[in-house]
Amino acid sequence: MPTKKEKDDLTGQETTGHEWDGIEELNNPLPKWWLYVFYASIVWAVGYMLLFPAIPSLTGYTKGLLGWERRAIVEQDIRQARAAQATYLDGIRETDLSGIMGDPDLLNFSLRGGEAVFADNCAACHGQGGAGRPGGYPALVDDNWLWGGDLENIHHTIAYGVRNEHSDSRSSQMPAFGGMLDRDELRSVTEYVISLAREPEDAELAEAGREVYATQCAACHGDDGGGMTQLGAPTLNNDIWLYGGERGEISRQIANPRHGVMPPWEERLGEEMVKMLTVYVHALGGGE
């Protein structure tokens, strides 16, 4: 600290006493407005710390005098949103699925709501817009259904899921034919399954597999490969494949089949949301 107040000759302003190459630093006071805003901020900060959650401790944090809590606000927002949708949600609860399809208001609400719920809960496996994913996640936009594509069947599948612990869950199991058929039988039945969907490469080999198919596969997948939705047995006579349509992929699926699982959704999403999802999935294009 300089003991003597030094003044700049030109402006008459007090200097800090610092000088570089003849340039002196003037000791201008802080702008008043800035200083007062700074003091006001300190006062504000004290009040804020008292009123709102502010100081963390090892086990929690100070709650503040106002009892403000973000979680409570979100819950209230959700309650308000639900209340605003009440007329539609009540309508959906009280109307059966075909009734919803026939009511333009409920239909539109279900399509919009279903789209949002689908994006949040279903799209991770079934893809955006129900486009499906390779490796056993079926597309929902086409007309090929594992467990049936009418409103009731779609609703049942969404509500209770596939191969899970729920007592109403869809359930079926395809045996692993790798241990039951020999190499030649496996090769020929694979070629036969291909021939159901498209032109086989080796017609003779496919013909040899007809017998094996009739005895081992037709019970579930149907004589013509039409599948059976009651058992979740996929259609084989079209070119839509759950686990891939290459010869190796089909053969692997016969020898040691993989099975997809899906959780039950009704408990988690509630009755109305599942109904909305059903209508949305049905309207993706493949609904029967």
Partner 1 sequence: MSESSIRTEEARSRKQQKGDKLFAGRVKVHPMNVRGTFRRLKWAALGLLLAIYYLVPWIRWDRGPDAPNQAVLIDLPGRRAYFFFIEIWPQEVYYLTGLLILAAIGLFWITSLLGRVWCGYACPQTVWTDLFMLVERWIEGDHNARMKLDKQPTTGSKLAKRTAKHTVWIVIAAATGGAWVLYFKDAPTAVYEIFTLQASLALYGFAALFTAMTYLLAGWAREQVCVYMCPWPRFQAAMFDEDTMVVTYESWRGEPRGKPKKGKAHVSPREVPATPASESRPGLAAIDWEKANELYGEEKVDGLGDCIACNKCVAVCPTGIDIRDGVQLECIGCALCIDACNDVMDRLNRPRNLITYDTLRNQDLRAQGLPPKLRLVRPRTVFYTLLLAVVAGAMLWSLAFRATLDINVLHNRTPLYVTLSDGDIRNGYTVRILNKTREDRAFTLSVAGLEDMRLSVVGAEVSPDQTARLTARPDTTATYRVHVTAPRESLDGTVNSLTFNLNDDLGETAVHDTVFRGPE
Residue ranges binding partner 1 (CB under 8 A): 101, 104, 107-108, 111, 127-129, 131, 139, 141-144, 235, 238-240, 283-286
| CB nearer partner 1, residue 145 or residue 213 | 145
Smallest gap from Cβ 198 to partner 1, in A, equals 10
Q: In DSSP terms, which residues pair with 233 in a beta bridge?
A: 228
| CB nearer partner 1, residue 143 or residue 223 | 143
| CB nearer partner 1, residue 142 or residue 185 | 142
Smallest gap from Cβ 10 to partner 1, in A, equals 11
DSSP string spanning 59-118?
S-B---TT---HHHHHHHHHHHHHHHTHHHHHHHHHS-HHHHHH-HHHHHHHHHHHHHHH
| CB nearer partner 1, residue 61 or residue 68 | 68
| CB nearer partner 1, residue 108 or residue 173 | 108
Smallest gap from Cβ 33 to partner 1, in A, equals 13
Smallest gap from Cβ 283 to partner 1, in A, equals 4
In this structure, the dihedral spanned by the alpha carbons of residues 209, 214, 220 and 223, taken in order and rounded to 10 degrees, is 100
Among 56, 55, 52, smallest CA distance to 66 is for: 52
Smallest gap from Cβ 127 to partner 1, in A, equals 7
Report DSSP state, residue 130. G
Alpha-carbon distance of 67 to 160, in angstroms, equals 41
What residues contact 88, with CB distance under 8 A and at least 6 apart? Answer: 105, 106, 109, 113
| CB nearer partner 1, residue 90 or residue 105 | 105
Smallest gap from Cβ 216 to partner 1, in A, equals 23
What residues contact 218, with CB distance under 8 A and at least 6 apart? Answer: none
| CB nearer partner 1, residue 212 or residue 276 | 276
Structure tokens at 57: 């401790």
Smallest gap from Cβ 279 to partner 1, in A, equals 9
Is residue 238 within 8 Å of residue 195, measured between CB atoms?
no
Alpha-carbon distance of 75 to 179, in angstroms, equals 55
